[in-house]
C-alpha cells in the first residue's frame, strides 16, 4: 500500500508525465509512477475511453461456471464487506487471477456509473488492458494497493477510488483479487483495512484445504493472538513446508519460494511442538514465538462443519470394498494413459469418482480440469476448449485465452456428459486426443499437451453410436476402459452407506445422530436421483438439526413419507417432490446457508425453512 498525494500534486504529476513527457519523481508514489511507466510501455493512451459493452449472458454464465469455486469461497466476505460499505455507496468486486471481473455488488446508482467505465462483470482490469488501477496494480505487485482519483492511468477513471488485495492460496498462487471501489470525491478512510481483513478470512478458509493429514503449526509472538486471523500458519508434510499464510512468512522473514523445499529444522531450533498446549518455539535466527501444533485427521480434511461438502480425498470410506478395488485398478490404467469412461445414472457420483481417480493417480499433483460438455453454450464451447488468439472473434478478450485443454496439461482432463457434445466438435476433439496438439482459434503454432482423459456420461454411448449421434471413432478412443457406477438401489447395504455418508458429512462430530427407524426409512427410499439426491437430503437434515440431537422419522422431509405409487398416480405429488428436491439441492449448493439458498430460489427464508421442515 502507498501514501496518496494531494489533488494539486497529482495534477502537477499528470501534467509532467502525460503532457511534457518528464518523470514526476517525488510528486507521486513509486508504486503509481512505476505503474504509469509500465502502462506507457504497453502503448496505452491515457485519454482513450474504454469500450464498456456488457458481456453476453451466455458468456457470463460460462465464466461464472468456470470460477464457481472461488466465487462460492468469497461470497460470504463479499456480502459482509458490502454490508459494511454500502453507507458510502461503494461496490465490492471479485476478479479472476488475470483481472477479469467475475462479480460486482453495490448500490444500483453506483453500479450504473461504474458500468460506464467498464467496471462490470466480464471486463478485464489488468494493467496491460486498463492501465494503472487497484486491481491490476495489486496483481502486478502482489500487494494490497490503493489507487485514488487521478492516480489512475486513464483519465476516465479519475472518478474512482479503489482498494484491492490479491487473494493467495497456501503456495502463494494468486486465485483472484478482492476490490472495494467508490467515488473519488468520497473519502474512504477504512476501505483498505476492510479489504485486507476480508482477504485474510478468505485465505484462511482456502488454507484449510491444505491441512488434511498434515502437521499444522500456528504461531505468533503473542499467545493471545493464536486462533485469530493474525496468527501465522505453517503446514508441514514429512517435515517439509508445503503451505503457509502471509503472516507466517512475514514473521519468519521468508518468501513463497520456500514453499515445497524448506524443512522444519531449517526454520526452527526447537523441536516440533507437542500436540497439546502452547509452547515457546525458537526460530533459526533466535526469535521466539508462541506456538501450538494441530494435526487435522485425513478423514475430515478440516475442523468439523455442518453441511460440509464431501471433499475428493474422502471417497474411500464411502463405497464397498469391491468398488474400491475397481478404483485402484482403474487408477493404474490411468497411469498408463489409458482413457477411462465412467457410466452411470444421473447423480451417481461420476465427478466424485473422477476426482478420486485423479487423487490416486501419478498425476495427483497436476491440475484437474472438468469440462461439462452439456452446459457450455455451443457458440462458446470451441473457444472454451481450444482457446483463442487476440482478436479471434468479436467480444474476445484482448489477451486471448489459454483454453481448458491447455489448462489440463500435466494433469487430468475430465469430459463430463461427453455424450451431449455436438457432433461438429467431436471430430476436432478426436484429433486433439490422437495428436496431443492444440491450435487455438485464430491460428498460430500448434501447442503440445499432455493429459490423461476421463470421460463420463449417463447415456448408453453404444446406443448413441448405433443411432449416429456419437462418433464411433471417438467412442473407441475414450472408452478403452469402462467403469460402471452403481445406482443407490444396487448397493448391498444402503443403511451402512448412509451411516458412512453421515459420518463423513460431520454429523456425528456435532453429536447429531440418525435413529434406527429413520435410518431404515431412508434406506428403503427408491432414490431416483441417486447419490446427489441422498446427499441433498442428508445435508438438509444436518442444516436444520440442533446440535446434540437425534433425527427421528418425524424429522424426515414430508416427501419421503409419500410412497412411489402415490407419486406416480398423482402428478401434483410428483411436482411437490421435485420442488422439495430442488430446494434441497440449492441448500446443499449453498453449504447449508438458508439465507443464501432462499435468495437463489427467490423465496423468503421462512418459506424455505417451512418447506424443508415439511
Q: What is the pLDDT of residues 358-397, one digit of tens each?
A: 988 888 888 888 888 876 655 556 677 777 665 544 444 4
Residue 512 lies in a domain: yes
pLDDT, one tens digit per residue, over 255-280 is: 999 998 899 989 998 887 766 678 89
Residues 447 and 359 in one domain: yes
Residue 467 lies in a domain: yes
Question: How far, in Å, CA of 354 to CA of 279, rounded?
Answer: 42
**Lookup: cell for 357:** 481417480
Residues 51 and 137 in one domain: yes
Residues 386 and 286 in one domain: no
Residues 190 and 234 in one domain: no
For residue 177, what pLDDT band results from cuts at 50, 70 and 90?
Answer: very high
> Domain boundary residue among 460, 484, 508?
484
Q: What does the pLDDT read at residue 127?
A: 93
Total tally of structural domains belonging to the chain: 4
Q: What does the pLDDT read at residue 235?
A: 92
Distances (CA, A) of 104 to 54, 308, 567, 606: 13, 27, 43, 27
Residue 300 lies in a domain: no
Residues 60 and 190 in one domain: yes
Distances (CA, A) of 117 to 63, 150, 188: 21, 14, 20
Phi, psi torsion values for 411, nearest 5 degrees: -135, -135
Question: How far, in Å, CA of 223 to CA of 337, rounded?
Answer: 51
Q: What does the pLDDT read at residue 482?
A: 94
Asked whether residue 53 carries a pLDDT value surpassing 70, the answer given is no
Strand order in the sheet with 215-220: 240-244, 232-237, 215-220, 288-295, 279-282
Beta-bridge partners for 388: 401, 441
Residue 23's domain is classified under what CATH number?
3.30.450.40
> Domain boundary residue among 201, 225, 258?
201
Question: How far, in Å, CA of 399 to CA of 396, rounded?
Answer: 8
Residues 253 and 400 in one domain: no
Residue 315 lies in a domain: no
Question: How far, in Å, CA of 586 to CA of 594, rounded?
Answer: 9
Which of the two residues, 312 and 467, has the higher pLDDT score?
467
Question: Cell 508525465 identifies what position?
Answer: 17
Residues 435 and 546 in one domain: no
Residue 448's domain is classified under what CATH number?
3.40.50.300
DSSP per residue, 29-51? -HHHHHHHHHHHHHT--TT----
Question: How far, in Å, CA of 267 to CA of 90, rounded?
Answer: 43
Half-sphere exposure of 55 (CA within 13 A, CB side): 22
Q: What is the span of the domain harbouring residue 67?
A: 7-201
Residues 110 and 166 in one domain: yes
pLDDT, one tens digit per residue, over 474-508 is: 999 999 999 999 888 787 788 888 888 887 777 76
> Domain boundary residue among 433, 455, 484?
484
First to last CA, the chain: 52
Residues 460 and 533 in one domain: no
Q: What does the pLDDT read at residue 378?
A: 57
Asked whether residue 304 carries a pLDDT value surpassing 50, the answer given is no
Which of the two residues, 143 and 56, has the higher pLDDT score?
143
User: With contact defined as beta carbons under 8 Å apart, do 234 and 215 qualify?
Assistant: no
Q: Nearest 5°: CA angle at 370, between 179 and 135?
A: 15
Asked whether residue 344 carries a pLDDT value surpassing 80, the answer given is yes
Which of the two residues, 521 and 597, has the higher pLDDT score?
521
Residue 18 burial (10 A CB sphere; 0-12, 13-18, 19+): middle
Question: How far, in Å, CA of 94 to CA of 82, rounded?
Answer: 12
Q: What is the mean pLDDT of the chain?
A: 80
pLDDT, one tens digit per residue, over 544-583 is: 777 778 899 988 887 776 544 333 443 444 445 556 666 7
Residue 307 lies in a domain: no
Q: What does the pLDDT read at residue 571?
A: 41
Residues 329 and 268 in one domain: no
Residues 214 and 196 in one domain: no
Residues 167 and 123 in one domain: yes
Residue 458 lies in a domain: yes
47-56, 439-448, 510-519: the lowest-pLDDT one: 47-56
Three-class DSSP category at 74: helix
For residue 588, what pLDDT band results from cuts at 50, 70 and 90?
Answer: low
Residues in the chain: 614
Residue 327 lies in a domain: yes
Phi, psi torsion values for 168, nearest 5 degrees: -115, 145
Which of the two residues, 63 and 112, has the higher pLDDT score?
63
For residue 52, what pLDDT band results from cuts at 50, 70 and 90?
Answer: low
User: With contact defined as beta carbons under 8 Å apart, do 343 and 483 qualify?
Assistant: yes
Q: What does the pLDDT read at residue 251?
A: 94
User: With contact defined as beta carbons under 8 Å apart, do 247 and 230 qualify?
Assistant: yes
Question: How far, in Å, CA of 540 to CA of 613, rounded?
Answer: 9
CA dihedral 438, 439, 441, 443 (to 10 degrees): 170
Residue 109 lies in a domain: yes
**pTM value surpassing 0.75:** no
Question: Cell 464411502 identifies what position?
Answer: 318
229-238, 289-298, 345-354: the lowest-pLDDT one: 289-298
Phi, psi torsion values for 277, nearest 5 degrees: 85, 170
Which of the two residues, 299 and 279, has the higher pLDDT score?
279
For residue 147, what pLDDT band results from cuts at 50, 70 and 90?
Answer: very high
Which of the two residues, 321 and 225, has the higher pLDDT score?
225
Amino acid at each position: 500500500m502507498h501514501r496518496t498525494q494531494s489533488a494539486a500534486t497529482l495534477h502537477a504529476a499528470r501534467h509532467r508525465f502525460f503532457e511534457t513527457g518528464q518523470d514526476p519523481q517525488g510528486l507521486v508514489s513509486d508504486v503509481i509512477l512505476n505503474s504509469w511507466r509500465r502502462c506507457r510501455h504497453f502503448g496505452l493512451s491515457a485519454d482513450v475511453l474504454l469500450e464498456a459493452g456488457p458481456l453476453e449472458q451466455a458468456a457470463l454464465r460460462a465464466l461464472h461456471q468456470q470460477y464457481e469455486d472461488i466465487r462460492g469461497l468469497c461470497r460470504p466476505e463479499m456480502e459482509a464487506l458490502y454490508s459494511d460499505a454500502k453507507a458510502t455507496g461503494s461496490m465490492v468486486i471479485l476478479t479472476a487471477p488475470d483481472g477479469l471481473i467475475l462479480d460486482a455488488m453495490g448500490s444500483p446508482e453506483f453500479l450504473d456509473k461504474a458500468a460506464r467505465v467498464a467496471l462490470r462483470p466480464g471486463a478485464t482490469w489488468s494493467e496491460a488492458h486498463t492501465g494503472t488501477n487497484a486491481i491490476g496494480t495489486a496483481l502486478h505487485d502482489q500487494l494490497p494497493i490503493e489507487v485514488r482519483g487521478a492516480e489512475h492511468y486513464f483519465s476516465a477513471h479519475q472518478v474512482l477510488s479503489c482498494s484491492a488485495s490479491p487473494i493467495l492460496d497456501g503456495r502463494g498462487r494468486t486465485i483472484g483479487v478482492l476490490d472495494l471501489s467508490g467515488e473519488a470525491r468520497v473519502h474512504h478512510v477504512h476501505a483498505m483495512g476492510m479489504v485486507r481483513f476480508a482477504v485474510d478470512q478468505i485465505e484462511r478458509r482456502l488454507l484449510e484445504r491444505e491441512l488434511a493429514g498434515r502437521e499444522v503449526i500456528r504461531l505468533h509472538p503473542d499467545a493471545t493472538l493464536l486462533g485469530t486471523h493474525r496468527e501465522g500458519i505453517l503446514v508441514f508434510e514429512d517435515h517439509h513446508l508445503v503451505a503457509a499464510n502471509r503472516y507466517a512468512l512475514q514473521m519468519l522473514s521468508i518468501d513463497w519460494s520456500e514453499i515445497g523445499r524448506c524443512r522444519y529444522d531449517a526454520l526452527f531450533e526447537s523441536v516440533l511442538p507437542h500436540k497439546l498446549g502452547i509452547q515457546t518455539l525458537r526460530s533459526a535466527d533466535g526469535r521466539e514465538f508462541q506456538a501450538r501444533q494441530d494435526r487435522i485427521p485425513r478423514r475430515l480434511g478440516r475442523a468439523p462443519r455442518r453441511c460440509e461438502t464431501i471433499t475428493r480425498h474422502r471417497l474411500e470410506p464411502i463405497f464397498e470394498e469391491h468398488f474400491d478395488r475397481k478404483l485402484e485398478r482403474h487408477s493404474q490404467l490411468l497411469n498408463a494413459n489409458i482413457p477411462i469412461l465412467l457410466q452411470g445414472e444421473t447423480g451417481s457420483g461420476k465427478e466424485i469418482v473422477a476426482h478420486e481417480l485423479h487423487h490416486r493417480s501419478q498425476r495427483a499433483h497436476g491440475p484437474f480440469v472438468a469440462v461439462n460438455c452439456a452446459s457450455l453454450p455451443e457458440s462458446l464451447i470451441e473457444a472454451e476448449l481450444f482457446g483463442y488468439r487476440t482478436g479471434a472473434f468479436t467480444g474476445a478478450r484482448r489477451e486471448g485465452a489459454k483454453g481448458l485443454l491447455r489448462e489440463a496439461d500435466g494433469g487430468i482432463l475430465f469430459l463430463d456428459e461427453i455424450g451431449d457434445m455436438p457432433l461438429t466438435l467431436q471430430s476436432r476433439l478426436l484429433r486433439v486426443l490422437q495428436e496431443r496438439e492444440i491450435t487455438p482459434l485464430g491460428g498460430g503454432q500448434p501447442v503440445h499437451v499432455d493429459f490423461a482423459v476421463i470421460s463420463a456420461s449417463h447415456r448408453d454411448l453404444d446406443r448413441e453410436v448405433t443411432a449416429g449421434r456419437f462418433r464411433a471413432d471417438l467412442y473407441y478412443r475414450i472408452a478403452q476402459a469402462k467403469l460402471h457406477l452403481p445406482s443407490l438401489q444396487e448397493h448391498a447395504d444402503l443403511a451402512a452407506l448412509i451411516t458412512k455418508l453421515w459420518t463423513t458429512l460431520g454429523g456425528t462430530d456435532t453429536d447429531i445422530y440418525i435413529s434406527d427407524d429413520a435410518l431404515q426409512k431412508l434406506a428403503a427410499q427408491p432414490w431416483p436421483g441417486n447419490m446427489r439426491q441422498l446427499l441433498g437430503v442428508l445435508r438438509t437434515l444436518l442444516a436444520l438439526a440442533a446440535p446434540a440431537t437425534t433425527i427421528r422419522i418425524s424429522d424426515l422431509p414430508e416427501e419421503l413419507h409419500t410412497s412411489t405409487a402415490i407419486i406416480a398416480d398423482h402428478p401434483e405429488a410428483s411436482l411437490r417432490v421435485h420442488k422439495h428436491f430442488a430446494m434441497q439441492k440449492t441448500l446443499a449448493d449453498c453449504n447449508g446457508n438458508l439465507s443464501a439458498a432462499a435468495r437463489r430460489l427467490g423465496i423468503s427464508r421462512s418459506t424455505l425453512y417451512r418447506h424443508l421442515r415439511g
